[in-house]
Copies of this chain bind each other. A is one copy, B any other.
Amino acid sequence: MKIHIVGTGLIGGSFAVGLRKVFPEVEIAGSDLNEEHLEKAQELRIIDHAEKLEEVAQADVVILAVPVDVAKKVAVKVLDHAGANTLVFDAGSTKAGLCEAISGHQNRRNFLAAHPIAGTEFSGPTAVVEDLFRNKTMIICEVEKTAFKLQERALEIFQKLGMRIRYMDPVSHDRHIAYVSHLSHISSFMLGKTVLQKEENEKDIFDLAGSGFASTVRLAKSSPAMWTPIFQQNKENILEILEEYIANLTTFRDLIRNEDFKEVFLEMERTNHIKTILNGIK
């Protein structure tokens, strides 16, 4: 099997090392607009060699692991050059815009719109994690628009990587992911900003921060280049949920201000059952 990975960072690189583990005979080519990443990915033997995007016709699988604004353009270009038997799938955190961008392409049936719910707050080839996708969810959108035998190849790959599959339409995907992923990143970035502003002159105060702060602010380490186009493409859903988050924080502030601590207690108690819902997510 020959695979071409577009974007040799955390996600693309983790696909490469994960696939090499389960398909030892695989040949992995890669391309990246970032020359440094491309070199590093070869140096670390994440990919076997660099290759131009125009050469993807020979590949059995092309994986797009680039920021979602780039993905829309690259998807069209890769489909332009795809062979009849080439499966192309992406890994982006927004799906509606991408599916729209390729909807009329003559090679649409070579494409599978995918979103692995996996990642870390780090980026680039040095952040690669071999088992990043094991026991994680792969969301697949518009599966019916992909050729049967390429659906089959994709499922085999995802199953070998240890992923569970969920099917959704792209519009629902973007809405729900705004709630359970995109909002978390904004809350974390702004938490980091707020505390950094306050402690600008007393950085040693962070010595006092415990695991709770580290946990809530972890996502503020994420890549702005990756997240800006996600917020741009999923603007409407994000604005809606962010508005509600701000409203809930404002209500909670008012309860504290008005010393209604009975209601402060109840607000927390009503949210506590997230324990049972989150059971199993790590």
| Chain B residues within an 8 Å CB radius of A136 | 210
| Chain B residues within an 8 Å CB radius of A210 | 117-119, 136-137, 180-181, 281
| Chain B residues within an 8 Å CB radius of A195 | 179-180, 183, 241
Given known contacts A193-B248, A198-B241, A253-B239, is B212 in contact with A184 (CB within 8 Å)? yes
Contact of A282 among B199, B211, B241 (CB under 8 A): B211
- A246 x B253 contact (CB < 8 A): yes
Q: Which of A50-58, A71-79, A151-159, A230-238 participates in binding chain B?
A: A230-238
Given known contacts A241-B194, A274-B217, is B281 in contact with A228 (CB within 8 Å)? no
Q: How far is the CA of A215 from the CA of B117 in the complex (A)?
A: 14
Q: How many residues of A contact B (CB 8 A)?
A: 92
| Chain B residues within an 8 Å CB radius of A207 | 137, 166
Say if the beta carbon of A205 comes within 8 Å of chain B.
yes
Binary contact readout A192-207 vs B (1 if CB under 8 angstroms, 0 otherwise): 1111111100110111
Q: How far is the CA of A221 from the CA of B275 in the complex (A)?
A: 6
- B231 x A242 contact (CB < 8 A): no
A183, A203, A225 — which one has the most chain B CB atoms within 10 A of its CB? A183
- B189 x A267 contact (CB < 8 A): yes
| Chain B residues within an 8 Å CB radius of A270 | 193
- B252 x A206 contact (CB < 8 A): no
CB distance from A164 to the nearest CB of B (A): 9
Contact of A232 among B187, B216, B246, B259 (CB under 8 A): B259
Say if the beta carbon of A148 comes within 8 Å of chain B.
no
Q: How far is the CA of A269 from the CA of B231 in the complex (A)?
A: 14
Q: How far is the CA of A212 from the CA of B185 in the complex (A)?
A: 8
Q: How far is the CA of A180 from the CA of B192 in the complex (A)?
A: 10
CB distance from A62 to the nearest CB of B (A): 24
Using A183-B194, A220-B271, A224-B266 as known contacts, list a sample of 13 further A-B pairs with CB atoms less than 8 Å apart, ordered by residue number in A.
A121-B212, A137-B210, A180-B205, A187-B191, A187-B216, A189-B267, A189-B268, A194-B244, A195-B241, A222-B268, A224-B272, A228-B264, A232-B264
